[in-house]
Amino acid sequence: MGLTISEIRDNTTRARHLYQRTKQQHFAVGAFNIDNQETLIAIVGAAQKLRSPVLIEVSDGEVKAMGLENIRDMVDNYKKEYGVEVYLNLDHSPSVDDCKRAIDAGYEFIHIDISQANHAATEEEIISKTLEVVNYAKFTGALVESEPHYFGGSSNVHTENIDYDEIKKTFSTPEGAKSFVEATGIDTFAAAIGNLHGKYPVPKELDLELLERIRGSIDCGISLHGGSGTPSHFFEDAAKIGVSKININSDMRYVFRKTLEKVLAEHPDEYAVVKLMPEVYGAVQAVVEEKIQAFGSAGKAIV
C-alpha cells in the first residue's frame, strides 16, 4: 500500500531532524544495503536491540531485483513490527527518472549518481541533473545526495591491494565540495577521502585531516561510501568531525555468503531454506551491530 503525501512529508521531516541530531550529537547513521528479506531482518533486529536509527538502502540492481514499491512496503512493515526508526535510501541511482520514481514512492533519501552510469560525465552534466532531482524532491522534502565525479571500487570482495596513488587522484577537495554544494543545493555531499567501495585484503585508510577541511567548507551533511573493511576508529573520528551517514554493504554480503556456505555444508539434507536462514541473518546482524557501535548511533533512535 502506497504512502499518502502527508505521510511521506512527515517521514522526510523526521529524516531531516535525524540529520540535525547527527550534527548536534556527533554520531553517524548507518546506511545498510539489502538485496533480500533476511538482510532487512538483520538490520532492523540490530536497530531494535541497540535503539539506533538506520537507513535501509538499495542500489539500481537491488531495486530491479526486488521492486521499488515492494521495498517501500517491506521497510514500512518491518518498521511497524519492530518499532524502529528507519528510513529508505535510493543508493547510487544512475538516472533522474529513477530518482523521481523513488521520491514519488516516499523514499526519504535519494542519491543521484550520474557518473555511476557514465564515468566520463562532465561536472556540468552532473550538476544539471542533480539540480533537477533537488528541485523535484522539494515536493516531498526528500534529502538529496550527490558527488561531482565517479567514485571508485565496487560492492564486492576484491583480491587486489588498494592503489592509494590512484585513489588520491579522485579525493574530494574543500574547494570542490563548496563549489558543488553551492551549485546544486544538495543535502548530502558524498566525500572521497580514502573510502572505497568493496572489501579489500588490506584495511582502508581515511584522510581525516582532509575530512576536517571539507567539513569546514560546507554546511550540508557529509556521507562516506565504501565503509566496509574500514577500521572502526576511523568511523568514530569521522562522526566526531561531522559525518552524518556511512554506507555499508560488502561486509554484510561477505558474512552472509560465508555463513550460508557453512550452514549448507552442515545440513546437506535440509531443503527447507527458511530453516537454514536464522544463523545467516544472525551473523549479518552482528556485523550491523558492530557498525552501529562504531558510528555512535546506539541509543539515538526516536520512535
For each of the domains in the chain, give its residue range(s) and CATH number, in order of start: 5-295 (3.20.20.70)
**Predicted confidence (pLDDT) per residue in 103-137, tens digit:** 999 999 999 999 878 888 999 999 999 999 999 99
CA distance 14 to 219: 19
| pLDDT value for 1 | 65
Measured in whole angstroms, the distance separating CA 299 from the mean position of its chain's CA atoms is 20
Q: How far apart are the first and last CA of the chain?
A: 21
In this structure, what is the dihedral angle of CA atoms 22, 23, 28, 33, given to the nearest 10 degrees? 70
- Under the banding of pLDDT at 50, 70 and 90, the label for residue 154 is low
CA distance 191 to 138: 23
- Under the banding of pLDDT at 50, 70 and 90, the label for residue 2 is confident
Residue among 76, 91, 104, 207 flagged as catalytic: 91
**Predicted confidence (pLDDT) per residue in 263-279, tens digit:** 999 999 999 999 999 99
CA 295 to each of CA 16, 36, 197, 243: distance values in angstroms, whole numbers, following the listed order: 18, 24, 18, 9
- Is 113 marked active-site? no
| pLDDT value for 153 | 61
Under 8 Å between Cβ of 193 and 210: yes
The sign of the torsion formed by the CA atoms of 243, 133, 76, 197 equals negative
- Under the banding of pLDDT at 50, 70 and 90, the label for residue 4 is very high
CA distance 59 to 98: 11
| Mean local confidence (pLDDT), 286-299 | 98
Cβ atoms within 10 A of the Cβ of 154, count?
A: 12
CA distance 230 to 57: 19
pLDDT of 83 > 70? The answer is yes
**Predicted confidence (pLDDT) per residue in 224-242, tens digit:** 998 888 999 999 999 999 9
Note the pTM of the prediction, 2 decimals. Answer: 0.94
Nearest to 216 by CA among 247, 172, 246: 172
One-letter amino acid of 83 = G
